[in-house]
Amino acid sequence: MSGLWTFLLIFMSPMAIRGHFEFNNVVCLVRDRMFMDFEYCYLKSVNRTYKYLSLKTKMFRLPVDNCETRFQLRMRENRRVLYNFDFKVDSCKFMRDRKHVIANWVYQTFGPYSNLNHTCPYDHDIVLDKLPVQHLNKLVQSIIPDGRYMMNSTWMVAGIPRTDVILYFTKS
């Protein structure tokens, strides 16, 4: 291989590879089937570049006027928590003031694809509609290092955990 090619490959490969982002799996775990269930919760691959996440709840006790969300982002290799991505937030308060910086970042990743965009109470099912992998790709590119991750969110209503939504993804 000529020196120029070697140079170009070394020079270009980080750019070509950077920010590749892949959904691996999603798990929507119901903790209390008297309270809620999921109508669907899945990843779909349309083609090589278009993969999305969709989910819809079935709420049996509406309205929801209080909710606390525990959020964790962990590397799968060593289960280490990443930066400040381990927090609990009063979701109703957050939807009123948007003051929690990291919750706000997380919310921005999926909020635009959901019907969550209003303050409490919630008197309807929650829908996340076709959140594209590319959208997350753009957002996580500069923030988290390469690796395999588990994003665990636990949703508590009246202080009781009702569901864990766990997303496994890889950034390479």
Ligand X SMILES: *[C@@H]1O[C@H](CO)[C@@H](O)[C@H](O)[C@H]1NC(C)=O
State the minimum distance, in angstroms, from the CB of residue 143 to ligand X: 21
Residue nearer to ligand X on the CB measure, 49 or 141: 49
State the minimum distance, in angstroms, from the CB of residue 172 to ligand X: 19
State the minimum distance, in angstroms, from the CB of residue 139 to ligand X: 17
Residue nearer to ligand X on the CB measure, 6 or 33: 33
> How long a stretch of residues is the chain?
172
Residue nearer to ligand X on the CB measure, 22 or 164: 164
Give DSSP secondary structure letters for the chain. Answer: --HHHHHHHHHHHHHHHTT-EEEEEEEEEES-TTTEEEEEEEEEESSSS-EEEEEEEEESS--B---EEEEEEEETTT-PEEEEEEEEEEHHHHHHH---HHHHHHHHHHGGGBS--SPSPB-S--EEEEEEHHHHHHHHTTTS-SEEEEEEEEEEETTEEEEEEEEEEEE-
State the minimum distance, in angstroms, from the CB of residue 51 to ligand X: 9
Residue nearer to ligand X on the CB measure, 8 or 46: 46
**Binding positions for ligand X, rule: CB under 6 A:** 46-50, 70, 117, 152, 154, 164, 166
State the minimum distance, in angstroms, from the CB of residue 86 to ligand X: 9
Residue nearer to ligand X on the CB measure, 9 or 46: 46
Q: Residue 49 is encoded by which pair of tokens?
A: 């570049």
